[in-house]
Every structure is written in C-alpha cells, then in structure tokens.
A and B are shown apart, each in its own frame.
Chain A
Amino acid sequence: MSEIILETKNLTKSYGNVKALDNFNVKFEKDKIYGLLGRNGAGKTTLLNITTSRIFTDSGMVTAFGENAVENGQVLPKICYMPEKDMFMHKMKVREIIKHAGGFYADFDMQYAENLCEKFVLDKNKKYNALSRGYESILRIVIGLASRAPLTIFDEPVLGLDAAVRDIFYTELIEDFTNNPRTFIISTHLIEESADIFEEAIIIKNGQLIEQTACETLKENAHYVSGKAEAVDAAAAGLNVIHTESVASVKICAIYGKVSPEKLRELKAAGLDISPVPVQKLFIYLTEN
C-alpha cells in the first residue's frame, strides 16, 4: 500500500441535532486523484473543513503526513485547500492575491500561475470584487494548481464555469498531475464528466462513508437488469438491488456488487436485458435515502 497522506479516525461533528459527520474514517494515499462525491449536505465540506483545521471536530482524529494535523504549523502549509466560498480580500488585485499566495506555499510555481492565467484569460489587474462568479472559481483553480502543494483540495472547483473552461481545467489537472504528481481531492457534483479523471471515488451519505473504490470498479459493478417482473425478481434474489422501477409489465432493477461474467451470461440466457448504469444514476441510487 502506498504512503497514507491523510487519515481521519472516528470523526464526529454535530450541528445541533444533525450529525454532519458520523464516526467518519477515511484514508487518502500519496499521488492519487480522489473524487469526493455526495449530495448537498452529505458532509463533504464539513469533512474538508475539519481535515484542514478550518473548523474543529467534536471528536476523532485527523492525521496528515504522519502527524496530528490540527492547527499544525508544519503540516498545514503542505495542504492547499480552495473552498467553494469566496474568501479573498475584495479590494485586492488578482495579481497581488497570487503573489501573496506564492509566499505561503513552498512549492508554488509563479511561472505556472502566469501560464494558467493566460490559458484561462484571467485579468490579473482586476480587483477581486470586480470578478464574475466564474472568474472567482478560476482564481481558486489557478492558486490550487500552481501551489503544487503535496495535498491539494478543491471543493466544487468548476462552479459557474462553462463546458469549454471546465475542459481546460480537467486537461490542466491531468497534465500537471502526470508531470508533478501529488494528491488531489476534488469534491464535485459533476460526476459524469469528472469520473474518468479520478482514480478513486469516495462517496459520502448522511455523514458516513458508504463507498471508497476505484472508479472503474464502480462502473463495472453496476448493472441494470430488466425484463418480465417475475424473471427479474428471481434473478435479483440474493443480489444487492439499489433501485427498482416498473414500466407496464417490464421491471428494471439496478444491482450493485461484483457479478461474475458467468452469472451475467446466465441472466442474459434467461432472457433478461443487462445494460450498464450511467455513473450519474449510480451515484443517485447509492445516495438515495
């Protein structure tokens, strides 16, 4: 197993009666791109805020780079966390913000930051409060990428960006990752287009970790089984059914879990239709209540 960069043990955080995180345990390894997926309010942002000491947990531990991460001046500078919320000084120019950022991350690459500003057409002379929502996201992307921090975290990095710009981001992310490997954690709603970028997906539901697996495994282990209701029920017995639908006399089941090729052939031979489940739908089924 590769070196563990970030680990949480039994993190629990409540807001009033609501448990935002419930005994949360997760491990992130060195030099991998992770997708952090979950519905609104599932606990993604709470998790990210706690692991980077922006807020404090009620109980549990966070370890990063082998040390207790809480308020740790040795460890925090190795983590660049660009959150969803707007936090820069409004009256500062983009140029100044980037310059200051450069002073706080040991591996910050100013030349790369300049290149990214050009690629994204980010006007460095604009004041932060004059930027549109999209460009605010772009600034966070530029700083996060150029920081070259060994652990770089993005919370909803592509909010407000059109498809073309999102594409630039994914391209830059992969390219920089291949040339300068580091651990990326990216929290996003846009699963369909980003699933292939991630090596592993981590799915959060109601403050709990429900799945941590390679993205291909997610896809390989999900199937739609459809056909006559009785046949489908018989076939699905003993399998992990995560969703069912009926249209007239046709029943469709989504099953999740490792199914052998023989079993699949068996099901097809029984006259059932087996088809893949789109990642977006799979995510919805897994996180449904």
Chain B
Amino acid sequence: MKLDFSSEKSIYLQIAENIENDILRGAIEEESQLPSTNEMAVIFKINPATAGKGVGLLVDEEIVYKKRGIGMFVAQGAKKQIQKKRRRVFYDNYISTLLFEANSIGITRDELVKMITDGGADNE
C-alpha cells in the first residue's frame, strides 16, 4: 500500500481505495483484521485521524466493520460490495476519459472497439 502525497486525491480517500484494492486482489481476506489506524498512521507518517477517516468511509459503505475492543475487520461479501460500487463509477472514472481522449486524437468508435477486443496488439 502506497500513498501519493502530491496527488489531488485526499490521503484518506487514497487509504480507503488502497484497502479496497487489496480486498479485490485477495491480499486481504474477508473476515481478516485490518491494521489499526494507529499502525497505519505510524507506517505512513500521517495523522491517525486521517487514517481513521479513510477507514470510516469503508465502515459507512459496510465494506469494513468494527469488532468492539478488537479492531476493524473486512466484512463478509466486501469484495462483491466493492465491485458493485466500482462498476457504478467505472464509466465516469475510465470510459468518459477514454472517449474524450480518443475523440481528441481522432480514433473512431470502431477502431476503439477493435483495440479493446484485440487487447491493443496492433495499435502501431
């Protein structure tokens, strides 16, 4: 997990995203424990409140939950939850930029579809 301090994206958002990415990739299993916000603060040299805010976002979306007196745990079905969430914003985050850029450099829709199906093998 890495943070980009010069990025436009707030640190707490990056933390939430990083944890989500780890859950998606299976690096963090469901029902496993997350490092504490204090541990995260020390590792990244950020204020623990910031780490807490990032984790708080995940709690609100029910991706992560708190076990009293023990810590934060990845919820059952968190992976599905994240995928669902990401699908919703996939268009805004990736497709619209793709279309905009393709348009600016004159790539047609058909060329675009071909690129996608060929996996970019012949885009010289």
Please, what's the 1-or-0 string for B1-27, where 1 marks a CB less than 8 Å from any CB in chain A? 000011110111000000000000000
> Does more than half of chain A's interface fall in helix, strand or loop, or is it mixed?
helix
**A178-B38 in contact given A171-B45, A198-B47 (Cβ < 8 Å):** yes
Neighbour of A175 across the interface among B6, B8, B42, B53, CB < 8 A? B42
**A171-B49 in contact given A219-B10, A220-B10 (Cβ < 8 Å):** no
A177 to B49, CA, bound (A): 11
> Does more than half of chain B's interface fall in helix, strand or loop, or is it mixed?
helix
Please, what's the 1-or-0 string for A212-231, where 1 marks a CB less than 8 Å from any CB in chain B? 00011001100000000000
A170 to B48, CA, bound (A): 13
Q: Which partner residue on chain B sits nearest A172 by CB separation? A: B42
Give the size of the chain A interface in residues (CB under 8 angstroms).
21
Q: Are B38 and A199 in contact (CB under 8 A)?
A: no
Write the nearest CB–CB distance from A102 to chain B, whole angstroms.
26
Neighbour of A33 across the interface among B10, B12, B47, CB < 8 A? B47
Does A278 sit at the interface, judged by CB under 8 A? yes
Q: Which partner residue on chain A sits nearest B40 by CB separation? A: A178
A171 to B11, CA, bound (A): 17
**A199-B45 in contact given A178-B38, A216-B10 (Cβ < 8 Å):** no
A276 to B7, CA, bound (A): 8
Please, what's the 1-or-0 string for B29-63, where 1 marks a CB less than 8 Å from any CB in chain A? 00000000010011011111110010000000000
Q: Are B47 and A197 in contact (CB under 8 A)?
A: yes
Complex contacts, A167 vs chain B, CB 8 Å: 45
Complex contacts, A276 vs chain B, CB 8 Å: 7-8
Q: Are B5 and A196 in contact (CB under 8 A)?
A: yes
Complex contacts, B50 vs chain A, CB 8 Å: 196, 199, 215-216
Complex contacts, A198 vs chain B, CB 8 Å: 47
**A170-B42 in contact given A196-B50, A216-B11 (Cβ < 8 Å):** no
Chain A residues in the interface with B (C-beta under 8 A): 32-33, 167, 170-171, 174-175, 177-179, 196-199, 215-216, 219-220, 275-276, 278
8 pairs, CB–CB < 8 Å, chain A vs chain B: A167-B45, A178-B38, A179-B38, A197-B47, A215-B47, A216-B12, A220-B10, A276-B7
